[in-house]
Amino acid sequence: MKRTTLALASVALLAAGYTGTASAQAKEQFVPANGYWVGPYAPGGSGIFGGFLDYLKMINARDGGVNGVKFTWEKCETEYNNARGVECYERSKKKGPTGATMIHPLSTGITYSLIEKGTADKIPIVSIGYGRTSAADGRVFPYVFPLITTYWSQATAMIKFIASKEGGTAKLKGKKIVLVYHDSAYGKEPHAVLQKMAEQYGYELTLLAVPHPGNEQQSQWLQIRQIKPNWVILWGWGVMNPTAIKAAAKIGFPRNKMIGVWWSGAEEDVIPAGSAAKGYMAAGFNISGANFPVIQDIKKNVYAKGEGEMEDQSRIGSIFYNRGVVFAIVTVEAVRKAQEKYGKGQSMTGEQVRWGLENLDISEAYLKKLGATGFMQPLKVSCLDHEGGGQVKFQQWDGTKWNVITDWITADKALVRPMIEEDAAKYAKEKGITPRDCSKES
């Protein structure tokens, strides 16, 4: 009996392997939704892909797609696991009439694993707000787009924000800043930038590692109590965030001197911390709220028909959900841009979408047309710069919702850019890549 199960399994797998290459009808644009709906990071995965797919559904319903080309998608569970992520990528890359439009890996680890694969398969890897920072150098990474803003940009924006609170960058001298970070590749991202800025501005930086998963932070926060820092930057992940906020309350560290990274700044990160989270601040490249016209359109065109992704409709307009909508706006606009060059009303290949991404120009006026003024920042991508925006807003938790407390704060690109180029050049050398000449790109 068991052997037959196994045999059946392998037959089905075989069949699935081949049907994957069968082509569907034309006039469709296939976007893989490789995310996670189980495990510790499910709140983020389900929220972001909820918003992402709802927006695509809305574009299909309201506009009939992009110039008549409707979006299709398929979900694939990556469990936030590199191996599963690669499997999902391989499964989804040939689907649809023209293959995968672009991949949102939604995990820094998976992004790293896909950089070479995506480049070889000519499928853009779009990592918005995560992934490899130095991929912003489009000359070395033609198929990788760490769009909107990167960890390094964010770190500089945080220091800028702290400076503005302290009354100017000159006041930073002698101030103590502690970085509490998730002990992983992700948490180590900002070290170099923050250290460089410490030299520049003369603040004292202490780095405190929190071992994965971060559900026990007693010793780190006792150290903070000893250091008595002016500011704490929280570079956390999952359960580490509420635990850190709780631990801060436990040693009596003021929460309004704590700034979280954008992966520490969703409702899911503060609600478990309860009242302790009041006053806590976090950066974000998108903001929360359901009053934007674009979210209202989703409600009207998708939820009114009962086709929405979110079972719990109160999550519409949450940070994660809106972040997914931002991802989707970028996706749709890149396809639209590509169609302008390669033929309106056609399904675009990954290679064509890559051009679309690289020439993406979402202006403030265009954002207004999308109904997303203030919802996300204007974005202009180029061959040289695969990041584009580089701005964040800071938001503060008042116990029930996030309130925006600053306008867009621009990153210190003069500081970050040379570091990006240096790292990209190192990668190019290691891999034997000759950087593109951007003046020759059309």
Partner 1 sequence: MTFFIEVLAGGLLAGVMYSLVALGFVLIYKASGVFNFAQGAMVFLAALTFVSLLEMGWNFWLALLVTLVVMVGVGVLTERIVLRPLVNQPPITLFMATIGLTFVLEGLSQMVWGSQPHGLELGIADVPMEWLSEKWNINISKFDLFAAAVAGVLVASLAVFFQKTRIGRALRAVADDHQAALAVGISLQHIWAIVWAVAGFVALVAGMMWGVRNGVQYALTFTALKALPVLILGGFESVPGAIIGGLIIGASEKVAEVYLGPYVGGGIESWFAYVIALVFLLVRPQGLFGEKIIDRV
Partner 2 sequence: MLYREAGQFKSTYAEDMQIFPIRQDRIGVILLLAVAFLVVPFVATQYWFSALLIPFLVLSLATLGLNILTGYAGQISLGTAAFMAVGAFMAYNAELRIPGMPLLGSFIIGGLCAAAVGVVFGLPSLRIKGFYLAVATLACQFFVLWAINRVGWFTNYSSSGVISAQKMVILGYTFDTPASKYVLTLSIVVVLALLAKNLMRSETGRAFMAVRDMDVAAEVIGIPMMKTKLLAFAISSFYCGVAGALYAYCYLGTVEPEAFVLDLSFRVLFMVIIGGVGSIMGSFVGAAFITLLPIFLNLATEVIANTFDIEISHAVVSNAELMIFGGLIIFFLIVEPNGLARLWQIAKEKLRLWPFPH
Catalog residues that contact partner 2 under the rule CB under 8 A.
2-3, 6, 9-10, 12-13, 16-18, 20-21, 36-38, 42, 46, 74-77, 81-84, 86-87, 90-91, 94, 108-109, 112-113, 115-117, 132-134, 183-186, 188-189, 191-192, 211-212, 311, 423, 427, 430-432
DSSP 423: H
When asked if residue 84 is in the footprint of partner 1 (CB under 8 A), the reply is no
What, of partner 1, partner 2, none, does residue 219 touch, CB below 5 to 8 Å by kind? partner 1
C-alpha span between 214 and 182 (Å, rounded): 7
When asked if residue 81 is in the footprint of partner 1 (CB under 8 A), the reply is no
Q: H or E segment at 207?
A: strand 204-210
Structural tokens at position 289: 């709220």
Q: Are 204 and 230 in contact (CB under 8 A)?
A: no
What, of partner 1, partner 2, none, does residue 3 touch, CB below 5 to 8 Å by kind? partner 2
Would you list the DSSP string of 336-381?
A: HHHHHHH-TTSPPPHHHHHHHHHT-EE-HHHHHHHT-BTTB--EE-
Instruction: Please state the closest distance from residue 162 (CB atom) to partner 1, in A.
Output: 22
Largest CA distance in the chain: 75
C-alpha span between 242 and 142 (Å, rounded): 38
C-alpha span between 386 and 367 (Å, rounded): 19
* Residue 96 or 238 having the CB closest to partner 1: 238
Instruction: Please state the closest distance from residue 415 (CB atom) to partner 1, in A.
Output: 25
Site string for partner 1, 396-425 (x = CB under 8 A): ------------------------------
Instruction: Please state the closest distance from residue 426 (CB atom) to partner 2, in A.
Output: 9
Instruction: Please state the closest distance from residue 192 (CB atom) to partner 2, in A.
Output: 5
Q: Are 335 and 65 in contact (CB under 8 A)?
A: no
What, of partner 2, partner 1, none, does residue 392 touch, CB below 5 to 8 Å by kind? none
What, of partner 2, partner 1, none, does residue 168 touch, CB below 5 to 8 Å by kind? none
When asked if residue 10 is in the footprint of partner 1 (CB under 8 A), the reply is no
Site string for partner 1, 21-60 (x = CB under 8 A): ----------------xxxx-xx--x--------------
Instruction: Please state the closest distance from residue 193 (CB atom) to partner 2, in A.
Output: 9
Q: Are 311 and 337 in contact (CB under 8 A)?
A: no
> 356-360: long-range contacts (C-beta < 8 A, 24 or more apart)?
357/102, 357/124, 357/126, 357/145, 357/147, 357/330, 357/381, 358/138, 358/145, 358/382, 358/383, 358/386, 358/441, 360/330, 360/333, 360/334, 360/388
What, of partner 2, partner 1, none, does residue 396 touch, CB below 5 to 8 Å by kind? none
Please list every residue from 226 through 285 that binds partner 1, using CB under 8 A: 226, 238-239, 242-243, 246, 249-252, 268, 271-276
C-alpha span between 125 and 146 (Å, rounded): 8
3-state secondary structure of 316: coil
* Residue 45 or 390 having the CB closest to partner 1: 45
Question: 55, 63, 69, 111: which is closest to 88 by C-alpha?
Answer: 111
Instruction: Please state the closest distance from residue 185 (CB atom) to partner 2, in A.
Output: 4
Q: Are 140 and 435 in contact (CB under 8 A)?
A: yes
Judged by the rule CB under 8 A, the positions of this chain that interact with partner 1 are: 37-40, 42-43, 46, 183, 207-216, 218-220, 222-223, 225-226, 238-239, 242-243, 246, 249-252, 268, 271-276, 311-312, 315
